[in-house]
Chains A and B, each alone.
Chain A
Amino acid sequence: MAVQTRSHWQQARVVETEDVADGVRRIVLEVAHPEHAAPGTHLDVDLPTPSGRQLRSYSIVRSEQDGRRLTLSVQLSPASRGGSKAMHALTVGDELTVSGPVQSFPLSVGASRYVLVAGGIGVTALVAMATALCRRGADYELVLVGRSRRFMAYLDELRAEHGDRVRVHVDDEGTPLSVPELVGEVAAAPTTTELYMCGPIRLMDAIRSSWAEHALPETNLRFETFGSSGRFEAEEFRVRLPQFDRDVVVAPDTSILDALTAAGIDTLSDCRKGECGLCLAKVVDVDGTIDHRDVFLSRSQKQRCANLCLCVSRAVATDTSDRATVTLHLT
Chain B
Amino acid sequence: MTLTSPQPAAATVPAGPSGFSGPTAPVTAAAKIFNHPRNAWYVAAWDHEVTGKQPLARTVAGVPLALWRNAEGRAVALADACWHRLAPLSQGKILGNELQCPYHGLRYNATGRCTAMPAQETINPSAVVPSYPVVERYRYVWVWVGDPDLADPTTVPDMHQMDDPSWAGDGETIHADCNYQLVLDNLMDLTHEEFVHSSSIGQDELSEAEFDVTHEGDTVTVTRWMRDIDAPPFWLKNMRDKFPDFEGKVDRWQIITFQAPGTICIDVGVAKAGTGAPEGDRSQGVNGFVMNTITPETDRTCHYFWAFMRNYCLDSQTITTQLRQAVHGVFGEDEDMLRAQQRAIDANPGHEFYSLNIDAGGMWVRRILERMLAAEGRPSAAPAPGAGV
Contact = CB atoms under 8 A, between A and B. Distances in A.
Interface residues of B, number: 28
Interface stretch (A164-172, A215-223, A258-266): A215-223
Interface size class of A (residues with CB under 8 A): 20 to 34
A136 B149 contact: yes
Contacts of A222: 113, 125
Given A2-B79, A136-B149, A277-B120, A106 B128 contact: yes
A104 interface: yes
Contact of B125 (A5, A108, A275): A275
Interface stretch (B129-137, B175-183, B205-213, B268-276): B129-137
Given A3-B83, A132-B149, A275-B125, A219 B113 contact: yes
A295 B133 contact: no
Contacts of B241: none
Nearest to A271: B126
B378 to A, nearest CB: 11
Interface in A273-331: 275-277, 295-298, 300-301
A94 B272 CA distance: 79
A36 B147 contact: yes
A296 B149 contact: no
Interface in A80-125: 104-106, 108-111
Question: A interface, by DSSP: helix, strand, loop or mixed?
Answer: loop
B121 A218 contact: no
A104 B124 CA distance: 10
Contact of B130 (A5, A104, A106, A135): A106
B126 A104 contact: yes
Contacts of A132: 149
A135 B79 contact: no
Contact of B147 (A1, A111, A277, A297): A1
Contacts of A150: none
B96 interface: no
Given A136-B149, A218-B115, A224-B126, 20 more contacts: A1-B130, A1-B145, A2-B130, A3-B130, A5-B126, A106-B112, A108-B111, A108-B112, A108-B113, A109-B111, A109-B133, A110-B111, A111-B111, A219-B111, A219-B113, A223-B125, A271-B126, A275-B124, A295-B124, A296-B124
Would you list the 8 A-B pairs with minimal beta carbon distance, nearest first? A298-B121, A104-B126, A108-B111, A219-B113, A109-B148, A275-B124, A132-B149, A219-B115
